[in-house]
């Protein structure tokens, strides 16, 4: 669920009119230009983001930009340690559906020289996450090696993202590179399905039932515990996309 922020940020990196083959950058001829004053640019940026998000889902093969709905994660692993539970969890072949319904509600931009701070608030009505998992866990003195598939549905996801970045220049153009990202998604409700937790199907059902009863506690623990694994992935993917988008294309020209 922490991948919700990815589609929001990549809004600037695909779905725009592709530039001619001889250039690796994108044109934005049919999008509004925003005020130079960052304090006044929030509503304009929100408009651009909400215009682009539906276009982004198919990506841009010519620029190597992948589709994002579904957003595909080939593999991700992280260490988990909280209270009585310790171990390693890996997920593979993960698909996240729902980003195309992403709506940006607020955007705030602060610029200080070449430093940029961007805050966004967005909403997704429903997300579905499917994939395979395996883990090596120790719960108190009990050793577990669950392996199977999972299916998680999230309802009314509100995502608050804070990004710190900086402007840099190349080819005579100005670009944005993110240095840090903090995503804090909240969820109204969640339904968890999974198998392979225990060899006994009845125990499997019991474990899933408990997880659904206490999903808020589980969610509140897992998100910060796993940040060191997912945050670098987010930064790498977002910056790879932003390198195709000269920032000044979105700014009103001087009169």
CA 39 – CA 104 distance, rounded (Å): 17
Q: Which two tokens stand for residue 252?
A: 């009103």
- For tokens 């967005």, name the residue: 122
Return d(Cα 23, Cα 149) in angstroms, integer: 42
123 touches 101 (CB < 8 A): no
Domains of the chain, earliest start first: 4-250 (3.15.10.30)
**Alpha-carbon gap, residue 55 to 58, rounded angstroms:** 7
Closest CA to 176 of 41, 74, 85, 70: 41
pLDDT at 158: 94
Rounded to the nearest 10°, the torsion over CA 6, 12, 17, 18 is -80
Evaluate whether 125 touches 174 at the Cβ level (below 8 Å).
no
Per residue in 94-151, pLDDT (tens digit) is 999 998 888 999 999 999 999 999 999 999 999 999 999 999 988 778 888 899 999 9
Q: Would you say residue 18 has pLDDT above 80?
A: no
pLDDT (tens digit, 9 = 90+) per residue, 64-90? Answer: 667 778 888 888 888 877 777 788 889
Does the pTM exceed 0.95? no
Residue 132: φ, ψ to 5°: -110, 150
On whether the CB atoms of residues 63 and 214 are closer than 8 A, the answer is: no
Q: In whole angstroms, what is the distance from residue 72 CA to residue 6 CA?
A: 11
């Amino acid at each position: 669920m922490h991948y919700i922020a990815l589609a929001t940020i990549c809004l600037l990196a695909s779905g725009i009119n592709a530039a001619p083959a001889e250039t690796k950058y994108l044109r934005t001829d049919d999008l509004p230009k925003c005020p130079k004053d960052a304090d006044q640019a929030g509503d304009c940026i929100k408009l651009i983001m909400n215009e682009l998000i539906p276009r982004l889902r198919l990506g841009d093969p010519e620029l190597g930009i992948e589709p994002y709905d579904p957003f595909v994660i080939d593999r991700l692993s992280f260490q988990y340690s909280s209270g009585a539970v310790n171990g390693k969890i890996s997920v593979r072949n993960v698909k996240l559906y729902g980003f195309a319904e992403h709506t940006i509600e607020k955007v705030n931009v602060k610029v200080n020289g070449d430093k940029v701070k961007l805050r966004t608030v967005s909403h997704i009505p429903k997300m579905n996450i499917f994939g395979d998992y395996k883990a090596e866990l120790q719960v108190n003195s009990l050793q577990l090696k669950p392996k199977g598939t999972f299916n998680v549905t999230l309802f009314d996801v509100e995502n608050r993202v804070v990004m710190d970045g900086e402007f840099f220049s190349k080819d005579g153009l100005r670009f944005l590179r993110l240095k840090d990202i903090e995503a804090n998604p909240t969820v109204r409700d969640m339904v968890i399905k999974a198998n392979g937790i225990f060899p006994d199907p009845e125990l499997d059902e019991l474990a899933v039932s408990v997880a659904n009863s206490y999903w808020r506690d589980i969610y509140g623990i897992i998100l910060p515990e796993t940040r060191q694994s997912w945050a670098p992935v987010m930064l790498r993917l977002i910056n790879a996309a932003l390198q195709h988008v000269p920032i000044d294309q979105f700014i009103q020209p001087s009169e």
